[in-house]
């Protein structure tokens, strides 16, 4: 996002519609992030928003991901 200083990355292990289940994973100056501290072989929901001089952007649409299983 143009003008963004930081990006907030959030994870939700259950239902993306339950606002209280979202947890901040990282705050970064980069628009990409690799989540590494997740339970293996589990589905997660992710969302992000940007922080800049104008304040916080709306959250992105939730995206579903799957963590890597243990070998």
* Tens digits of residue pLDDT in 6-64: 999 999 999 999 999 999 999 999 999 899 889 999 999 999 999 999 999 999 999 99
Position 71 in a domain: no
Quote the tokens at residue 45. 């929901």
The phi and psi torsions of 20 (rounded to 5 degrees) equal: -70, -5
The answer, yes or no, to whether residue 1 has pLDDT greater than 80, is no
pTM over 0.75: yes
Higher pLDDT, 71 or 27: 27
Six-digit token string for 3: 């003008």
Q: Is the residue at 15 inside a domain? A: yes
Q: Are 24 and 12 a contacting pair, CB within 8 Å? A: no
The answer as to whether 60 is a domain residue is: yes
Specify if 28 maps to a domain.
yes
Q: Is the pLDDT of residue 2 over 80?
A: no
Does some domain include residue 40? yes
- Specify the CATH number for the domain of residue 47: 2.60.40.10
Structural domain boundaries enclosing 17? 4-66
Task: At 51, give phi and psi (nearest 5°).
Answer: -120, 130
* Domain total of the chain: 1
Q: How much is the pLDDT for 44?
A: 98
């Amino acid at each position: 996002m143009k003008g963004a200083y930081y990006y907030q990355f959030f994870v939700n292990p259950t239902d993306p519609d339950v606002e209280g289940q979202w947890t901040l994973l990282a705050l970064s100056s980069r628009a990409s992030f690799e989540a590494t501290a997740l339970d293996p072989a589990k589905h997660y929901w992710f969302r992000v928003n940007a922080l800049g001089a104008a304040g916080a952007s709306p959250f992105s649409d939730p995206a579903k991901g799957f963590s890597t299983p243990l070998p």
